[in-house]
Homo-oligomer: A and B are copies of this chain.
């Protein structure tokens, strides 16, 4: 059976402003100095999925930046953002058209510290999927996170249930129980299993794929899909969903403070710069490619330098970058967003 991959690269990623922009979102910036997350995601497919069977699905704003980081993969551009189900359905359809029987669906903007562990889990997931199940990879959790969906494994590797972003008390229980896993949006399934599941749970989207089969233009078929997530529409409803556990140093790198999870710790904090000189500084997140950075008496700040914009923010205010972007757009400074 031939493996294809659908890489979801349509995310906006405002939380890494000013390094990330509308036309250059999180998946195509180099957060760690080791290349972009998209390029790293594709590199992890080497030896597993041929370049011609790699489909990168993105949006029109960021198409140029995504193409530049996609190597030999095929980049397809959504007519409009309609959540993950249409993106995955179209990507699977394109991969199948190119000869794929089994498809890996992977986000393009996550960090994996131990790629070999991911590889082993993907191999296992392919084996399970070959039997007809839709497979989700379940990340071994490292904290009682309320921002992720959780997976409760059942008998025989089946998913017993999906738990949407839980309140803190529930997250604490899930984490301390040691049994539940995080849903990271990584899926493996046979093309025919997926299309059957789609027919059962999202007939409109299944119908759009059938229309593509019959020669309808994408733009037309696209508007007939269900604008929803694969989790909500399919994974949470299907009767044959399995989970393969994964412990690979995963991080979704959700905001500047998450750089702590993916970069080595230094006395002054973590980050990327050419040289660092610091006095009495700790807990900072720095991104200033090619520059000397001097920190004097600075704690728990986010410092991000780019050619046209400089951010200095309290670490605890990382979520307020949305407000900064909104203020810029409102002031006619959208060229910075």
Contact = CB atoms under 8 A, between A and B. Distances in A.
Given A308-B291, A336-B292, A297 B313 contact: yes
Contacts of A333: 275, 277, 292
A334 B311 CA distance: 27
B309 A293 contact: yes
Interface string A302-337: 010100111111101100110110011001010010
State which size class the interface on A falls in.
35 or more
B294 A313 contact: yes
A292 B309 contact: yes
B291 A324 contact: no
B294 A317 contact: no
A277 B310 contact: no
A100 B296 CA distance: 48
B310 A296 contact: no
A279 interface: yes
A186 B61 CA distance: 59
A298 B313 contact: yes
A160 interface: no
Given A303-B310, A328-B277, A333-B275, A317 B291 contact: no
Given A331-B277, A333-B275, A296 B309 contact: no
Contact of A317 (B277, B288, B297, B305): B297
Given A291-B308, A305-B305, A296 B277 contact: no
A56 B46 CA distance: 65
Interface in A48-63: none
Contacts of A301: 298, 312
Contacts of A328: 277, 292
A308 B320 CA distance: 28
A295 interface: yes
B311 A296 contact: yes
Contacts of A297: 313-314, 316-317, 320
4 residue pairs, one from A and one from B, having the closest CB atoms: A296-B313, A297-B314, A292-B309, A297-B317
19 contacts: A273-B310, A275-B333, A277-B324, A277-B328, A277-B331, A277-B333, A292-B310, A293-B310, A293-B311, A294-B309, A294-B313, A296-B324, A297-B314, A297-B320, A298-B312, A298-B313, A303-B312, A305-B305, A305-B310
